[in-house]
Structure 1
Amino acid sequence: MFPVDHAITRITQTRQAGIDKGERTEMGSKWTVHYGLYRVHAYYSTAHGLQTGITSQDLDTLWQALTNIFDHDRSATRGEMAIQGLYIFSHDNAFGCARATTLFDRIKVTPLI
């Protein structure tokens, strides 16, 4: 997809010079991308978590926050964003059972359009 430029009109002046002149509107532009897919990798180190006191409840709260990250943060500049998937790899020891790159390579992403 390609970014699209839109002209926008703001009703409220934001610059003192415009207010002093009696201007009522202000022109601007906004760029949008109709569809974009971001892939993000995040890492949690159990070994470091044990040193800092992170609990499984803390991790559950983090996963829930990541799943709902855009539901309560709407913005005209971002449009409508949504998480399409959250993949969590768990290991039976603090240092892991497989390399992160090996695990991430197992996830295949296909755009919806």
Structure 2
Amino acid sequence: MKSQLAIMVCAIAVSLTGCGDKPAATSEPAAVTKSGEAVTITKAKFEAVENGMTYEKVVQVVGGPGELMSEAGKKGDAMHTVVYSYKGEGSAGANAIFTFQGGKLAAKAQAGLQ
């Protein structure tokens, strides 16, 4: 529980301040749909996302990939942690952050979604 809280606080801090290094380019998709439209998230879609989901399931619920914000650890390890963000629909600066650990959603946070 404490580690999930720490991960969520870190993810929110990075998203709000814009500080921190973005990871090197990976094979992860950009935050656009196949048709080239930007992916955004609503509050209803955010609430439909549940802890324990895989990234692939979250992408299905939201309607497209998020932007890879940070990655720590080695892929496949239990402590491999990946953070994705989505621009939100709602107030200016609305966004959502999803933190995955060991391939499963461990924490989520949002600001300003409608």
Fold conserved (TM > 0.5)? no
Q: Which has the higher strand share?
A: 2
TM-score category of the 2 structures, normalised to the smaller one: under 0.3
Looking at both structures, which has the greater relative contact order when contacts are Cα pairs under 8 Å and sequence separation is at least 6? 2
TM-score relative to the length of structure 1: 0.21
Structure possessing the higher radius of gyration over alpha carbons: 1
TM-score relative to the length of structure 2: 0.21
